[in-house]
Amino acid sequence: MFCILAFIVFGILGIFSASYRALAKEAWLCVKKRITLKPCDTSLSEKIRAKAVGPLILKHPKIAKSINRYFEILSWSVVILSIISTFYVSQSVYNLVRYQSCNPVNPEKCLLGVEACINKDAGSFFNGLKRILNIESIDKKFYSPLGRTFGNQEAKITIIEFMCPECPACAVTGPIVKKAIESYSDKIAFKIYYFPLPQHPFSYISSAATEAAAKQEKFLPYLEAEFNSLDKWSSLKTENEVRSFLINLAKNLNLDEKEFIKVIDDPNVKQIIDNDLNLALKNGINSTPSFIFLKEKDGQFKTEKATGAREFLDTLNNFLK
């Protein structure tokens, strides 16, 4: 087993130093013999054991004796840990490509991931690769959703947002987007679309409630109220409980309760949400909040995507230059 460990270690070190390549080659010869159940006649094990134990003999004889005695067991342990580590690294790389997060279940725990809620029903591995390489096609024109369109609709810059009211990352980004809408209402056209995520059980009912508020020109205040109370209503057990909670939010904002409930229960609202969802998928959107920036100049469009608060601000500043 030691030869396998030596091959892994020296194979990696050999990339950077020629002095380790000979040891890697010797270790590989030993590995091939061990695989075919032949004895390994190389002295590699003794060489490495001597180098590992030798410097410790005079200063720490007890430690040196223990290492020498359990050298094979230690080798097995390191090899097993290496195999496990390789598996998890490979899994993380796959998840990063497919879901844009090395941990799609808890994306906030992935340092390489984006500040977003990831769509667990994302497309294939290759679709994820296209998203990372940013080579998928992006629409240049988006319809203006009633009550969810803000700013100057004649502006050269358009920002498209896909969001889920139940997404914690959207709640974090919400105030930043609201401030941008208020600050650049003369320079930018803002359009906001729904992207209910399957892992959020109340994403559809909360989107329907937000749409009901949009019908009464209260989209932004209502969405802000949803985000501010997200911990409360997202932890409820049933959709009916959530529905009642969201209706109370509307009453607190002095919305017409009857009209609000009428829209929530309207089957056509689900079709509106599904249309937004399909628009997101068509444009390669895989997480919320996701943004598409469009800038028209001399008939040509500059397009760029952003996910999460930091990317949104960076891209916004870049497009405003």
Last residue of a domain, one of 93, 117, 145: 93
pLDDT of residue 21: 62
The answer on 8 and 146 residing in a single domain is no
Claim to verify: residue 309 and residue 200 sit in the same structural domain: yes
Q: Is the domain of 219 the same as that of 165? A: yes
Asked whether residue 82 falls in the same domain as residue 174, the answer is: no
What is the chain's percent helix, strand, coil content, to nearest 5?
60, 10, 30
Give the model's pLDDT for residue 13: 45
Judge if 149 and 287 occupy the same domain. yes
Q: 42 with 158, same domain?
A: no
CATH number, domain of 248, equals 3.40.30.10
pLDDT for res 261 = 97
In a domain, residue 103? The reply is no
**Quick check: is 12 in a domain?**
yes
| Domains identified in the chain, total number | 2
User: Is 99 inside a domain boundary?
Assistant: no
Residues 178 and 227 reside in one and the same domain: yes
- Position 45 scores a pLDDT of 60
Same domain, 81 and 214: no
Query: Where does a domain end: 93, 122, 145?
Result: 93
Q: Is the domain of 147 the same as that of 294?
A: yes
| 84 and 140 housed in the same domain | no
**Is 86 buried (19+), middle (13-18) or exposed (0-12) by CB count in 10 A?**
exposed
pTM over 0.85: no
Are residue 254 and residue 310 in the same domain, yes or no?
A: yes
Task: Identify which of 107, 103, 105 has the alpha carbon closest to the alpha carbon of residue 88.
Answer: 103
- Domain coverage including residue 219: 133-320
Q: Is residue 115 part of a domain?
A: no
Residue 123 burial (CB count, 10 A): 14
100 located within any domain = no
Q: Provide the residue-wise pLDDT of the chain in tens; the chain has 321 residues.
A: 444 444 455 455 444 455 556 655 666 566 566 555 566 555 556 666 665 566 667 677 777 777 667 656 666 565 566 667 667 777 777 666 554 556 655 554 555 555 678 776 654 444 554 554 454 557 777 889 999 999 999 999 999 999 999 998 899 899 999 999 999 999 999 999 999 999 999 999 999 999 999 999 999 999 999 999 999 999 999 999 999 999 999 999 999 999 999 999 999 999 999 999 999 999 989 889 999 999 988 778 899 999 988 899 999 999 998
Residue 127 in domain: no
Are 80 and 150 within one domain?
Answer: no
State which of 39, 62, 93 marks the end of a domain.
93
Q: Do residues 293 and 159 make contact, with C-beta atoms less than 8 angstroms apart?
A: yes
Collapse the DSSP code of 30 into the 3-class scheme (helix H, G, I; strand E, B; otherwise coil) and give the result.
Answer: helix
pLDDT at 217: 96
Task: Assess if residue 51 is contained within a domain.
Answer: yes
